[in-house]
Structure 1
Amino acid sequence: MSKLSQDRMLAIDALRGITITAMILVNNPGSWQYVYPPLLHAEWHGWTPTDLIFPFFVFIVGLSMSLSVPKQLAKGQPNSAILKQGLIRCTKLILLGLFLAVFYYNTFDPNYNWWTDRIVEIRLPGVLQRIGIVFLLTLMLMLWLNNRGRIIAFGALMLGYWASMQWAVYYDAQGNAYSGLFDFGNSFAAWLDSVVFGSAHVYYPKATPFPFDPEGIFSTLPAVATCLSGVFAGQWLASNASLSRKTLMLALVGIAGYLAGEFLSFVVPINKALWTPSYVLMSSGLACLSLALCLFLIDMKGFRKWTAPFVVFGANSIAFFMFAGVLARILIMIPVGQTSFQGWLYASALQPVFGNYNGSLAFALLFLLVSYLVMFGMYKRGIIWKV
């Protein structure tokens, strides 16, 4: 735990807060049977607003790094010390992600075997695990390459990933050869997950012919490109250009990135689970555009009051994510009659009053309110949980 820094950028904290708020909102409906379509991921190809949340967060990681790493270097910290700190942070994020993976017990099944289900067959990839790895890889690129080298790395990650997905040949257990597929359970990325992790340790263990994970190994590479796009945006934000010019250029680049991603989708589909190059360009473009909008409203027009709840969440995003993850699991582990506490609250109190879909949304909003009260208490005390 540490005190909240006084030189944080409000626009970045606000955007981070909006992003993490949206993440918790879509992850915690009262019932997964009743969720409005924009609050669900696309079934496969394509995108919804929900599919923007994770890449926005990764973009903001890069944005923050572009501002913090130069300060560390300016203080005289050697690359080795900064890299060591980054490795420690990466390890902590991975361990926190694995903690969430094992923090569950099925209280409704008398034959439930926690050791087998949560330890022996633990899901190894995850959201925090990917953030940690992407952070470390991006940090290496920042320390070892100049800006031109990072731009080349950005292109190489995108082109290398696309070329491998398009032309690499891989085989199933029966010896059938595949290449160039971007299907559910049938792509080079899915094949690699199945080879390294096996079916027991991924999010989609029953996918055929290859079990895979949406936060899998190979698709982490273009996620690094997303993080680098945040680094580039942060470098521009830290430049000597005027605020109006910074905002305008971020908006123009954002529009161009979005259009490029949509155009590229005719060649390679936009797909979050595969983190395709078109998805990187589309989501990074919209992230730049969103950052420009925050700068325009907050710093140019002075509209700040609306940011208050988002800044509370954004300043303590990892604590918020962990608190929400633990609370959500506790609510479904507490039995109330034949259902969980979450199910009881939704079915007995919210659904009768608000209906199916609005009741499910009301549960998510209530969940956010409880989380806000906890995060607000930390914020008022100037406490930020660093990893």
Structure 2
Amino acid sequence: MNTLKNRYLSLDVFRGMDVALMIIVNSPGNGDTSFGILKHAVWNGFTLTDLVFPTFLFVVGNAMSFSMKKYQTLGNAAFLKKIFKRFAIIFLLGFLMYWFPFFEDGHLKPISETRIFGVLQRIALCYLIAAVLIHYFKTRTVVIFSIASLIIYNVILVVFGDLTLTGNAVLKLDKLLIGPSHMYHGNGGVAFDPEGLLSTLPAVVNVIAGYLTGKFIQNKGQHFETVAKLLMIAALLIVAGFAWHQIMPFNKKLWSSSFVLLTCGIDLVIIAILMYLLDMSKPGKWTYFFEVFGRNTLFIYLLSELFIISLAEIKTTGTTAYNWIADNIFISIAGNYFGSLLFALWIMLTCWLVGYIMDKKGIYIKV
């Protein structure tokens, strides 16, 4: 049995692969001419891109399987202070990112029209809830909570609304609590937040699944039996997900219960394969590319978002720097689809270069 260190290579690579893909799908040169695999499902359905965010939550939970050990030695007051501080910082960073660049036409952009929930905010909420559950309750109770959450969420969606963009329970609760002006309007102008408050409940399960996977690997060791068991559990989750899909379709925007089972199952397959290739075998030098992303994950993700927003805010000859670079450099050379992909790769590689310099200088920004 291999003795696990504080980290294992497969986790850093897995997280790095996810961040790289996240940047690519978030920065298409022309969204209309992006390859279908790099687009979210319009509503019901599932694409590779829909796997990106739940995977990020899964690796957050995976990393927690190491960090929560340290928290066990803390008193309750110190533990709560630590996790609430981390929650507050990540949530605030997400809010400020949506408020950025803060000024418009020489005036401060109104907070009354700034989106409240979002990607980092969901990560913060899921981390907080999962950390409290894991710290205060036994594993059996946490598993029961996860199953109950998926069932209860399914019931809430059916009883308190329908499964359409404009009539679902997630939208109704967000409208009631925060109002349309604080919500995402990227669905044809319709106010609906895919990271809404209610749909955070099933998303917590993705974090818990990542945590339980990390604990399982640490307890059982890195060998063929562990890989086989992970793959068997993955198969059960994926089959269960497709069965649930018959009554509650895969839907990333609603974060449906079937979507949770499917994404957790796929993530288990990936982590099992990576563990075999990287932690149980001799990995090649290719892993370093993704390790760079995995070592400064939050910073590089924020950098990519601010880079994209900044390019979109710079006006030039009737367009933006974002569109001008995409159209006149990448799309004009490689065509619509490949040009859009090359533009996204340029954004991703630029962020990687910053991460590479930070890694070589030993700079690691943690929250």
- TM-score, reference length from structure 2: 0.94
2-structure distance, mates of 1:344, 1:211: 29
Tell me if structure 1 keeps the 8 A contact 2:103–2:109: no
Partner of 2:82: 85
Q: SS in structure 2 opposite 1:302?
A: coil
Say whether 1:381 aligns with 2:365: no
Q: SS in structure 1 opposite 2:33?
A: coil
How much has 1:252 moved relative to structure 2?
1.7
Partner of 2:91: 94
Residue deviations 1:234-278, cap 9 Å, x none?
110110445222222112211221121112100111111111110
2-structure distance, mates of 1:20, 1:369: 12
Name whichever of 261-270 and 300-309 sits farther off: 300-309
Tell me if structure 2 keeps the 8 A contact 1:312–1:379: yes
Residue deviations 1:39-83, cap 9 Å, x none?
00000001100000000000111111122102332xx22233122
Say whether 1:115 aligns with 2:95: no
Tell me if structure 2 keeps the 8 A contact 1:185–1:207: no
Q: Give the AA of the match of 2:323.
A: G
2-structure distance, mates of 1:234, 1:8: 10
How much has 1:348 moved relative to structure 2?
1.5
Say whether 1:43 aligns with 2:9: no
Partner of 1:228: 208
1-structure distance, mates of 2:332, 2:158: 50
Name whichever of 7-16 and 127-136 sits farther off: 7-16
Tell me if structure 1 keeps the 8 A contact 2:61–2:211: yes
Q: Give the AA of the match of 1:299.
A: D
> Which residue among 258, 262, 268 is the counterpart of 1:288?
268
Tell me if structure 2 keeps the 8 A contact 1:316–1:385: yes
Q: Give the AA of the match of 1:140.
A: V
The count of residues paired between Structure 1 and Structure 2 equals 363
Q: Give the AA of the match of 1:115.
A: K
How much has 1:105 moved relative to structure 2?
6.8
> Which residue among 239, 252, 273 is the counterpart of 1:259?
239
1-structure distance, mates of 2:188, 2:308: 26
Partner of 2:313: 333
Q: SS in structure 2 opposite 1:271?
A: coil
1-structure distance, mates of 2:62, 2:80: 18
Say whether 1:355 aligns with 2:330: no
> Which residue among 153, 156, 162 is the counterpart of 2:154?
162
Tell me if structure 1 keeps the 8 A contact 2:55–2:263: yes
Partner of 1:142: 134
Over the matched positions of the two proteins, sequence identity in percent amounts to 33
RMSD of aligned C-alpha atoms? 1.9
2-structure distance, mates of 1:306, 1:151: 36
1-structure distance, mates of 2:170, 2:117: 13
Partner of 1:10: 9
How much has 1:114 moved relative to structure 2?
4.9
2-structure distance, mates of 1:120, 1:66: 38
Tell me if structure 2 keeps the 8 A contact 1:13–1:311: yes
1-structure distance, mates of 2:6, 2:358: 18
How much has 1:207 moved relative to structure 2?
7.8
Tell me if structure 1 keeps the 8 A contact 2:23–2:348: yes
* 206 and 46 in structure 1: CA distance in 2 versus 1, 3 angstrom threshold: closer
> Which residue among 145, 148, 152 is the counterpart of 1:153?
145
Q: SS in structure 1 opposite 2:230?
A: helix
How much has 1:8 moved relative to structure 2?
2.3
Q: Give the AA of the match of 1:37.
A: G
Name whichever of 310-319 and 296-305 sits farther off: 296-305
Q: Give the AA of the match of 1:197.
A: I
1-structure distance, mates of 2:30, 2:188: 24
Say whether 1:272 aligns with 2:271: no
How much has 1:205 moved relative to structure 2?
8.3
Residue deviations 1:196-215, cap 9 Å, x none?
1111010138889x843110
Partner of 1:171: none
Name whichever of 237-246 and 303-312 sits farther off: 237-246
Residue deviations 1:308-367, cap 9 Å, x none?
111100111100111111111111112221111121112211122101111111111111
Structure 1, unpaired ranges of 5+: 1-5, 169-178
Tell me if structure 2 keeps the 8 A contact 1:96–1:128: yes
- TM-score, reference length from structure 1: 0.90
Partner of 1:53: 52
